[in-house]
């Protein structure tokens, strides 16, 4: 599948400002830790939209910006990246913020998100944008939507045969998707912690949880295992892929980039395993920069990382 100019990828979810604190030393609890601060655009679905736009895909972003300087900054960045935001809205709530505490090597120690604005991403807001959603060749939504909002968008896409990818976001937010199931979903990409939201409590293996998702009409489950690579399941077989070799700067946004890479390859008609390779390559590009978005991401840069993965 390849989108035309009249058939955009519609991305639905949150937009945030990321504040990334990289610690100078090993984290110490219950005391102040010296750090360097890096501010960048964020929000899971906004990041995915940004990456896809930089790779040349037509993007419509449906999100909420706070009516404040941060919201104006994010909106301008989106427009500059080629993302259309005409169906997004400014509202009275402040723009959301995500703060991450990173180890000196760039790994996430703990993250915190504040976003009362997300509560306005409700069914009334979504249904008012039905016409643009209906025109999509692919919808990507994140679990900052409520369970009811996810259930509505999954059902809407199913009724118009539009493939939908759901990004789980976090352990807490992935439960929104669990409550919204069953529903026809093209792909979800949980990590080892997030997948525990699916298939019950107790000693349930990741493979059993993946099976549960397939039984609830998820076509592809892409399980991220961080430095151990990832596994893609289509319900019949598993494909594994080693993590890319990188000079790590910052893990923020790597998962969002992987989803964008997978979606980009899918839109070019690549098979699901090749989509994984594109996802890993896009994530590698983000892992080697500060923040969740790499402004120089392009098809040429992606090709360099793809070539690197073939020779690794």
Residue-wise pLDDT for 29-69, tens only, equals 999 999 999 888 999 999 999 999 999 999 999 999 999 99
274-296 tens-digit pLDDT: 999 999 999 999 999 988 899 99
pLDDT for residue 253:
87
Average pLDDT value for residue range 17-27: 91
Task: Flag whether pLDDT at 3 surpasses 70.
Answer: no
Cβ contact 46:78 at 8 Å: yes
Cβ contact 136:9 at 8 Å: yes
- Evaluated on CA atoms 291, 57, 302, 141, the torsion sign reads positive
pLDDT for residue 76:
96
CA distance 89 to 63: 7
Average pLDDT value for residue range 111-128: 88
What are the structural domains of the chain?
A: 11-311 (3.40.1190.20)
Cβ contact 188:221 at 8 Å: yes
Tokens 């940004």 — which residue?
50
pLDDT for residue 226:
86
CA distance 10 to 290: 26
192-212 tens-digit pLDDT: 999 999 999 888 999 999 999
Contacts of residue 180, defined as CB under 8 A and 6 or more positions apart, other chains included, come to 147, 148, 150, 151, 154
Query: Which neighbouring-strand residues pair with 231?
Result: 223, 240
Grade residue 6 by pLDDT with cuts at 50, 70 and 90.
low
pLDDT for residue 5:
47
pLDDT for residue 310:
67
Contacts of residue 128, defined as CB under 8 A and 6 or more positions apart, other chains included, come to none
Write out the two tokens for 64: 């909420």
291-312 tens-digit pLDDT: 889 999 999 999 999 998 765 5
CA distance 202 to 141: 29
Q: What percent of the chain has pLDDT over 90?
A: 79
Average pLDDT value over all residues in the chain: 93
Average pLDDT value for residue range 119-147: 95
Residue 45 CA neighbour count, 13 Å, CB half = 29
CA 235 to chain centre: 22
Grade residue 108 by pLDDT with cuts at 50, 70 and 90.
confident
* Short-list 241, 239, 233, CA closest to 278: 241
């Amino acid at each position: 599948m390849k989108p035309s100019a009249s058939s955009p990828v519609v991305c639905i979810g949150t937009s945030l400002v990321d504040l990334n604190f990289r610690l100078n030393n090993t984290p110490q609890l219950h005391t102040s830790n010296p750090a360097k601060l890096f501010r960048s655009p964020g929000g899971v679905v906004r990041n995915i939209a940004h990456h896809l736009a930089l790779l040349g895909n037509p993007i419509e972003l449906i999100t909420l910006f706070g009516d404040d300087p941060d919201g104006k900054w994010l909106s301008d960045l989106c427009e500059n990246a080629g993302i259309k935001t005409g169906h997004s809205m400014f509202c009275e709530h402040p723009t959301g913020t995500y703060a991450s505490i990173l180890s000196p090597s760039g790994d996430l120690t703990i993250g915190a998100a504040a976003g009362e604005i997300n509560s306005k991403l409700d069914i009334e807001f979504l249904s008012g944008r039905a016409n643009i959603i209906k025109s999509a060749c692919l919808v990507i939504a994140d679990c900052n939507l409520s369970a009811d909002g996810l259930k509505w968008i999954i059902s809407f896409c199913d009724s118009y045969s539009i493939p939908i990818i759901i990004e789980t976001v976090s352990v807490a937010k992935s439960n929104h998707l669990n409550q919204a199931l069953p529903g026809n979903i093209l792909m979800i990409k949980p990590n080892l912690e997030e997948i525990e939201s699916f298939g019950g409590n107790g000693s349930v293996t990741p493979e059993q949880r993946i099976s549960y998702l397939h039984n609830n009409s998820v076509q592809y489950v892409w399980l991220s295992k961080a430095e151990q690579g990832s596994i893609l399941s289509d319900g019949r077989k598993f494909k594994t892929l080693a993590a890319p070799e990188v000079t790590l700067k910052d893990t923020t946004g790597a998962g969002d980039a992987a989803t964008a890479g997978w979606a980009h390859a899918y839109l070019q008609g690549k098979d699901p395993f090749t989509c994984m390779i594109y996802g890993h390559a896009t994530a590698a590009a983000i892992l080697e920069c500060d923040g969740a978005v790499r402004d120089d991401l392009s098809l040429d840069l992606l090709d360099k990382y793809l070539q690197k993965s073939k020779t690794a």
